[in-house]
Amino acid sequence: MVSKVTSMREAVERYVSDGCSLAVEGFTAFICFAAAHEIIRQGRRDLTLIRMTPDLVYDQMVAAGTARKLIFSYLGNPGIGSLHAIRRAVEQGLPGPLELEEYTHFGMIGRYIAGASRLPFFPLRSFSGSDLPRVNPNIRMLTDPFLGEQIAVVPPLNPDVAILHAQRADEQGNTQAWGLLGVQKEVAFASRHVIVVVEEIVEPALIRRDPNRTLIPDMIVDAVVHEPFGAHPSYVQGYYDRDNQQDQAWDGLSREPQALQDWLERWVYGVQDRQAYLKLLPPGTLERLKPLPVRSEAVDYGGYR
């Protein structure tokens, strides 16, 4: 089989086009900022950005003018504060208008599951007594054919492209992850194209010695990008911690459009790739973010001949 390994630049050029719908997922963990920054550098426009928690990664993409619409369930900088660029777009239409399509976390999860499963809808116990169905016609009620009870349903969500970060994959795209798995598996199966970005590319034999650890099988992966620290300032379990200093700094500078543009100039437009970005980090940053080792036990699958 031919290897799917490619550069971030090539992967974005090939799969992320103007106007497409894109899910760079990861619940606080595994958020691929390296991909977001490359998309900004390549000047993509009119994207529909899909994430449960838009987080800094979409605050930056909105500030850079890549987005037309947001599909989400929680607009915040986890544990820190607001997403000021997105708030400016929503509250003041700056730099441009931003369409919002809003759910609860469970609603987004249901949409991803339906999308991955080719189901016409997914039922869930939520939304009743909330105004969300009033402002989002995709949230509907259905009568259960067994007991006649009312239950909410949401339609499938099928992003054009998913970009998912993980610890490791082989060259074919068999991808293993541990830590907060979020909705990574569901998004991968729901999307038309899947780009996996990993800290390490490993031998297929290593993946195949622990098949239960494989989150995403190669058959649904289009491209594999090797990008160490590609999730910074988000984190990768066991590899590096969340860089709360940069996240906190963002809370301050992003309140000021000019300061935000200066930040993008320096950290995104001013570098050609993630390696150059890493060189801009204060000395000792990566060492500071490195966790202590806490290794799992190996398990035995047995050889059956």
Q: Which of residues 180-199 bind another protein (CB under 8 A)?
A: 180-186, 189
Residue 288's binding partner among its own copies, another protein, none (Cβ under 5 to 8 angstroms by kind) is: none
Binding region for another protein (CB under 8 A) out of 5-13, 34-42, 103-111, 192-200 = 103-111
Contact 57/36 with Cβ under 8 angstroms? yes
Nearest residue (CB) to another protein, 241 versus 273: 241
Q: Which of residues 130-169 bind its own copies (CB under 8 A)?
A: 140, 142, 144-147, 149, 151, 153, 155, 167
d(C-alpha 67, C-alpha 44), whole Å: 8
Q: Which of residues 10-49 bind another protein (CB under 8 A)?
A: 27-29
Q: Does 1 bind another protein (CB under 8 A)?
A: yes
- The binder of 140, among its own copies, another protein, none, by C-beta within 5 to 8 A per type, is its own copies
In the region spanning residues 231 to 290, those forming contacts with another protein, defined by CB under 8 A, are: 235, 237, 241-242, 244
Residues 240-279 that bind its own copies (CB under 8 A): 241
Nearest Cα residue to 256 out of 55, 87, 67? 87
Within 64-181, residue ranges assigned H as helices are 84-92, 105-117, 132-135
8 A C-beta contact, residue 31 and residue 24: yes
251-259 long-range CB contacts below 8 Å, 24 or more apart? 251/77, 251/80, 251/81, 251/82, 251/84, 254/59, 254/63, 254/83, 254/84, 254/85, 255/84, 257/63, 257/88, 257/94, 257/95
Closer CB to another protein, residue 27 or residue 277?
Answer: 27
Chain residues 164-193 in contact with its own copies, contact rule CB under 8 A? 167, 176, 178-179, 181
* Residue at 94: amino acid letter: L
- Count of C-beta atoms within a 10 Å radius of residue 21: 19
Asked whether 248 and 80 are in contact (CB, 8 A), the reply is yes
Q: Is 155 in the site for another protein (CB under 8 A)?
A: no
In whole angstroms, the minimum distance from the beta carbon of 212 to another protein comes to 5
Interface positions with its own copies (CB under 8 A): 118-121, 123-125, 140, 142, 144-147, 149, 151, 153, 155, 167, 176, 178-179, 181, 206, 209-210, 212-213, 237-239, 241, 291-305
